Chains A and B, each alone.
Chain A
Amino acid sequence: MTHLNQSDASFAAEIFPQLVLAIPFVFVLVLYGIAAMASGRKHTQWPVYRTVCWVLGVLLAILSVAGPLADRAHSDFSAHMISHLFLGMLAPLLMALGYPVTLMLRSLSVPLARRVSKVLRSRISQILTNPIFASFLNIGGLWLVYTTDLYSLMHESILLHLIVHFHVFLAGYLFTVSIVYFDPIPHRIPFISRAIVLVAALAGHGILSKYIYANPPAGVPAAQAELGSMIMYYGGDAVDILLIFLFCLQWYRSGVNWKWQELKHRNHA
């Protein structure tokens, strides 16, 4: 009887939240596969590298919310940081490289696709994909988790745990697609503005990493906080290289120049 109760308790505390977090990712993984195959038959073949990026991204996200890494993240701050780097940075970037919205628009019937593109053009989508708004959601959310009691509270409340993890992923994804444009995005913002927001957001991430080094979140031993802080700092840098490279590559390919010279001429004229 006690044994049963114990396993019930562990189910409620560990397995249940892991399942809730993992199921949406499994769902989109299957959906993407079906859409890629179906639209490949209808139109030209869906690029393999996009599918590979999507699958890798989703697997990384699942790895960070369920299984051994997620188990360890409860007690080990370094494991927590690695899982958050995956969930909030690398998985969103890889998934964005899967061009999910493009695939969706290609797979849906014309009237449905029209409705989706109407949603994309809506005011709400404009606010959500604004780089400044997305940066506040993303980096601001992180500051909230690590500098308030939220970090220790989310280990006690399952609901908070779920909200924080979904938020980390969604904010990370919104931030990524608000800075680097892969899928069609109707409300576009010039490169130079996005570059400034990107640098500010990366700085916010770096500053928070070093802040954690000196001010561990409640319940985290100093040594773990120091290691976790460095994982966050340098791990963040590693993903940022990719993000910055893709951003600059798009600038290079677009052939758009900084219009400083032209602006100067116009101002003089």
Chain B
Amino acid sequence: MSAETNPNRSAFLARNIWSGVLFGIGLAAFMDETIFHQLLRWHHFYDKSTTDIGLISDGLFHAFSWFATIGGLFLFADLRRKKALCLMRWWGGMLLGAGGFQLYDGTIQHKLMQIHQIRYVENVFLYDLVWNIIALFMIIVGGALIIRAGRKQRERAVSHDPS
């Protein structure tokens, strides 16, 4: 990082993760909408087997992800302005958010609440498998990045400690 950093940087550690998580959720939802709904047309706008709770969950997540995309970026700008940005943490949060949303979408929303399937084909199980493995992979990498950022932080704190 640059030499000029906020002296209270440690107060903003959690916010780096939150900013990433929010943007990650928003990005995953945005890609879901543009790639799978609009471009590929695999996802359907409405599936006749959608449960009521599925409709509510879909509506809430859609609205929240829209807000999170923009809000997450403004948080990012705020961290930069305060010179409190920690990119490794931010990327970790982003992968965690994107993976978390994709896992929720792929298991609870698609399967349990039946809002729609990934693609309307016979072997949809394979699609589900790939979908959720990618989600888990993002969660693991995101978590690892955050843990690594924390460890680096502690090491630096020890080496800077005058005692």
B is bound to A: yes
What residues of B have a CB within 8 angstroms of the CB of A206 in the complex?
Answer: 58-59, 62-63
A203 interface hit (Cβ, 8 Å): yes
What residues of B have a CB within 8 angstroms of the CB of A244 in the complex?
Answer: 66-67, 70-71
* Separation of A258 and B70 alpha carbons in the complex (Å): 16
B146 interface hit (Cβ, 8 Å): no
B68, closest chain A residue (CB): A199
Contact B74 A251 (CB under 8 A): yes
What residues of B have a CB within 8 angstroms of the CB of A260 in the complex?
Answer: 14-15
What residues of B have a CB within 8 angstroms of the CB of A213 in the complex?
Answer: 45-46
* Separation of A203 and B68 alpha carbons in the complex (Å): 13
A214 interface hit (Cβ, 8 Å): yes
A265, closest chain B residue (CB): B11
CB within 8 Å for A199 and B11 given contacts A206-B59, A207-B56, A213-B45: no
B108 interface hit (Cβ, 8 Å): no
A136 interface hit (Cβ, 8 Å): no
* Separation of A202 and B29 alpha carbons in the complex (Å): 15
A156 interface hit (Cβ, 8 Å): no
B35 interface hit (Cβ, 8 Å): no
A195 interface hit (Cβ, 8 Å): yes
How far apart are B93's CB and chain A's nearest CB, in angstroms?
15
A211 interface hit (Cβ, 8 Å): yes
A40 interface hit (Cβ, 8 Å): no
CB within 8 Å for A210 and B58 given contacts A248-B71, A249-B74, A252-B74: yes
A6 interface hit (Cβ, 8 Å): no
B134 interface hit (Cβ, 8 Å): no
Contact B55 A203 (CB under 8 A): no
* Separation of A189 and B60 alpha carbons in the complex (Å): 22
What residues of A have a CB within 8 angstroms of the CB of B64 in the complex?
Answer: 199, 203
What residues of A have a CB within 8 angstroms of the CB of B66 in the complex?
Answer: 202, 237, 240-241, 244
How far apart are B111's CB and chain A's nearest CB, in angstroms?
19
Contact A195 B59 (CB under 8 A): no
Contact with B along A184-209 (1 / 0, CB 8 A): 00000000000100111011111100
A16 interface hit (Cβ, 8 Å): no
* Separation of A14 and B126 alpha carbons in the complex (Å): 56
What residues of A have a CB within 8 angstroms of the CB of B74 in the complex?
Answer: 248-249, 251-252
Contact B14 A261 (CB under 8 A): yes
What residues of A have a CB within 8 angstroms of the CB of B155 in the complex?
Answer: none
A208, closest chain B residue (CB): B59
* Separation of A203 and B66 alpha carbons in the complex (Å): 10
CB within 8 Å for A210 and B45 given contacts A199-B63, A237-B66, A258-B15: yes
B77 interface hit (Cβ, 8 Å): yes
Contact with B along A203-231 (1 / 0, CB 8 A): 11111001101100000000000000110
B59, closest chain A residue (CB): A207
Contact B67 A202 (CB under 8 A): yes
What residues of A have a CB within 8 angstroms of the CB of B71 in the complex?
Answer: 195, 244, 248
Contact B78 A241 (CB under 8 A): no
How far apart are A262's CB and chain B's nearest CB, in angstroms?
9
Contact A203 B63 (CB under 8 A): yes
B48 interface hit (Cβ, 8 Å): yes
How far apart are B142's CB and chain A's nearest CB, in angstroms?
21
A245 interface hit (Cβ, 8 Å): yes
Partner of B55, one of A210, A249, A258: A210
How far apart are A128's CB and chain B's nearest CB, in angstroms?
23
* Beyond A199-B60, A202-B62, 6 extra complex contacts between A and B, CB < 8 Å: A198-B67, A210-B45, A230-B45, A233-B45, A244-B67, A257-B78
